[in-house]
C-alpha cells in the first residue's frame, strides 16, 4: 500500500499535484488557454440563456448558419451568411493586428480606433477626388489609408520614444482628435450632408463581382485578399525578418535590447507606425468595400476597441489574431439570427466580454502556480533538512560520497 503521507509531501503528489499539473499545462500553452476560455464563455452564455427561460439551441443554430450558410430549421442553404461573416471579421482582424503588433514591442496601442478613422477619412477623400482610373484608383486610396494610419500611429510612437509620453493616454486622446478632424474635413466635401458624402466612382470601390456571386450577393469584396496579405505580412515580419527580431527583443526587455545594439526608440516609432497602417487598412476595407459613398461618422465605430479583445484572445500572433477576429465576427454576424430565435442580442456581447475576462485571468493563474511551486520547493527543503545527513547529502556533488560534503563543510 503506498504511503500517502510521502506522496503528499512530494512536489506534484496527490490530487493537488494533479490539479497544479493541469493548470501548468494550460497556462504554459497560450493556444490551449484561448480555446479553453472561448469554450468557457460559451458554456456560461448557455447557462444564462437557460436561466432566462430560452432554448440555447437557438444560439448554436445561428452560429452554424453563419459559418456554413445552412439553416438547420428550414433546411435551406444560403452562402450569403458566410460572406457577411467574413465582411464583419475583416476590420476586426486588421484592428486586432494593430494592437497585436504593438504588443509584441511592449506597447499598448489603444489608438487603433483613431488610426482606423484616419485611414477611412483619407480613403474617402482619395475615392472622391483622385482621377477615376481603373484599378489604380482603389490601389491609391488603399495605400493612402495605410499611410494615414501609419502617420497617426507613428506620431504616438515618436512622442513615446523621444519624450516618454504614455502611449495609452496619447492614443486615447488621438482617437477623439481623429474623429472630430474627420467630421470637419468630410463635411467640407461639396455635396455632403450630415451623414454621407456623394457616391464614389465605381473605380474607387473594392467590390468584387466574383466574390459577391460566390456568396449569393453578399458584400464580400477585395479586402478579403488584402486581409490575407496582411496576415502573411504580419507573420513574416515578426517571425522571419531582422526587423521582427529587433521588435520582439525590444518588447521583451528594452534595456537588454539597447545594450545589444538595437535602436529602441526607432523600434517604438516603427512598431506604432506599422500598427497604424494595419488599422488604416481596416478603414479602407470598410469605407471602400462595404459602402458606395463616404460616411460622416457621428461617433466611433468601435472596431479599434474590439481589436484589443481580438489581439488578447489571439495572443498577439498573426494566425491566432486572425482566428480570434473570425470568432468575434461570427458572433456579431449571428446576433440578428439569434434574436430571430428568441435569444437576447446582448448574449453575443456577454460572450465576448467573458472571453476577455477569462483570458485576462491567465496572468493571475500563473502567479498562483509560481507561488505553489515556491511553496513546494520550500517544503521539500524543510523535509530534506530534517532528514539525517539530508542536508549534507543534498550538498554533495552527484556521484560523490556523503563524506565529501562533510569534509567540504568542515574546511569552510
389-399 per-residue burial string, b: 16 or more CB within 10 A, e: under 16? eeebeeebeee
User: What is the structure's pLDDT at 28?
Assistant: 63
Rounded to a whole number, what is the largest CA-CA distance in the chain? 95
- Cα 262 to the chain's mean position, in Å? 26
Q: For 164-252, where are the alpha helices, taking DSSP H only?
A: 167-186, 209-214, 223-240, 242-252
pLDDT confidence of residue 1: 47
DSSP element (H, E) containing 402: helix 402-411
Check if the beta carbon of residue 152 is closer than 8 Å to that of residue 174: yes
CA pair distance 228, 94, nearest whole angstrom = 10
pLDDT tier at 23 (50, 70, 90 boundaries)? low
Percent of the chain scored above 90 by pLDDT?
Answer: 66
Residue 171: C-alpha distances to residues 69, 78, 267, 375 (Å): 39, 41, 17, 42
Which grid coordinates are listed for 89?
Answer: 471579421
Residue 294, C-alpha cell as written in the block: 463616404
Return the higher-pLDDT residue of 115 and 348.
115
Per-residue cell: 158: 515618436
Q: Three-state DSSP class for 217?
A: coil
Give the rounded distance of the alpha carbon of 124 from its chain centre.
27
Spatial contact of 109 and 153, defined as CB atoms under 8 Å apart? yes
CB atoms within 10 A of CB 288: 28
19 pLDDT more than 80? no
State residue 25's pLDDT score. Answer: 60
Q: What is the pLDDT of residue 129?
A: 96
Query: What's the CA gap between 30 and 379, in Å, rounded?
Result: 30
pLDDT tens-place string over residues 196-221: 999 999 999 999 999 999 999 999 99
33: exposed, middle or buried (C-beta count within 10 Å: 0-12, 13-18, 19+)?
buried
Q: Which residues fall within 8 angstroms of residue 88, CB to CB, at 6 or more apart?
A: 329, 330, 332, 333
Which of 179, 100, 152 minimizes the C-alpha distance to 277? 152
The pLDDT tens digits for 45-91 are: 999 999 999 999 999 999 999 999 999 888 899 999 999 999 999 99
Q: Which of 79-88, 271-280, 385-394 has the lowest mean pLDDT?
A: 385-394
- Give the residue from 54, 70, 52, 53 showing the smallest Cα distance to 62: 70
Only one residue has cell 439553416, namely 71
pLDDT at position 227: 97
Percent of the chain with pLDDT over 70: 86
Is pLDDT at 399 greater than 70 in this prediction?
A: no
Coil, helix or strand at residue 164: coil
- Predicted TM-score (pTM) of the model is 0.84
Mean pLDDT to the nearest integer, 29-47: 86
For residue 123, how many other CB atoms are within 10 A of its CB?
A: 33
For the chain, the average pLDDT equals 87
Cell of 161: 520614444
Amino acid at each position: 500500500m503506498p504511503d500517502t503521507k510521502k506522496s503528499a509531501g512530494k512536489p506534484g503528489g496527490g490530487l493537488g499535484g494533479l490539479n497544479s499539473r493541469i493548470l501548468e499545462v494550460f497556462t504554459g500553452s497560450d493556444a490551449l488557454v484561448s480555446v479553453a476560455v472561448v469554450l468557457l464563455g460559451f458554456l456560461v452564455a448557455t447557462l444564462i440563456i437557460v436561466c432566462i427561460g430560452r432554448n440555447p439551441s437557438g444560439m448554436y443554430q445561428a452560429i452554424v448558419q453563419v459559418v456554413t450558410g445552412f439553416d438547420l430549421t428550414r433546411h435551406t442553404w444560403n452562402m450569403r451568411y458566410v460572406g457577411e461573416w467574413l465582411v464583419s471579421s475583416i476590420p476586426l482582424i486588421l484592428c486586432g493586428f494593430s494592437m497585436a503588433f504593438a504588443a509584441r514591442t511592449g506597447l499598448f496601442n489603444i489608438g487603433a480606433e483613431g488610426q482606423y478613422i484616419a485611414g477611412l477619412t483619407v480613403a474617402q477623400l482619395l475615392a472622391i477626388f483622385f482621377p477615376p482610373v481603373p484599378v489604380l484608383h482603389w490601389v491609391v486610396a488603399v495605400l493612402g489609408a495605410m499611410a494615414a494610419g501609419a502617420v497617426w500611429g507613428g506620431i504616438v510612437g515618436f512622442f513615446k520614444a523621444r519624450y516618454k509620453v504614455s502611449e495609452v493616454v496619447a492614443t486615447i486622446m488621438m482617437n477623439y482628435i481623429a474623429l472630430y478632424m474627420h467630421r470637419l474635413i468630410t463635411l467640407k466635401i461639396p455635396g455632403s450632408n450630415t451623414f454621407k458624402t456623394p457616391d464614389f466612382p465605381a473605380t474607387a470601390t473594392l467590390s468584387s463581382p466574383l466574390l459577391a456571386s460566390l456568396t449569393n450577393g453578399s458584400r464580400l469584396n477585395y479586402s478579403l485578399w488584402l486581409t490575407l496579405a496582411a496576415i502573411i505580412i504580419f507573420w513574416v515580419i515578426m517571425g522571419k525578418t531582422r526587423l521582427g527580431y529587433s521588435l520582439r527583443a525590444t518588447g521583451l526587455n528594452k534595456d537588454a535590447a539597447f545594450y545589444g545594439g538595437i535602436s529602441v526608440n526607432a523600434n517604438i516609432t516603427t512598431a506604432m507606425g506599422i500598427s497604424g497602417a494595419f488599422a488604416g487598412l481596416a478603414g479602407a476595407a470598410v469605407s471602400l468595400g462595404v459602402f458606395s459613398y463616404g460616411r460622416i461618422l457621428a461617433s466611433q465605430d468601435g472596431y479599434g476597441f474590439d481589436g484589443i479583445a481580438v489581439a488578447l484572445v489571439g495572443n498577439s500572433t498573426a494566425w491566432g489574431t486572425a482566428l480570434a477576429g473570425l470568432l468575434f465576427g461570427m458572433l456579431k454576424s449571428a446576433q440578428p439570427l439569434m434574436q430571430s430565435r428568441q435569444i437576447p442580442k446582448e448574449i453575443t456581447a456577454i460572450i465576448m466580454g467573458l472571453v476577455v475576462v477569462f483570458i485576462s485571468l491567465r496572468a493571475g493563474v500563473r502567479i498562483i502556480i509560481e507561488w505553489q511551486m515556491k511553496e513546494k520547493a520550500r517544503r521539500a527543503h524543510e523535509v530534506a533538512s530534517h532528514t539525517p545527513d539530508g542536508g549534507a547529502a543534498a550538498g554533495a556533488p552527484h556521484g560523490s560520497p556523503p563524506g565529501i560534503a562533510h569534509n567540504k563543510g568542515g574546511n569552510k
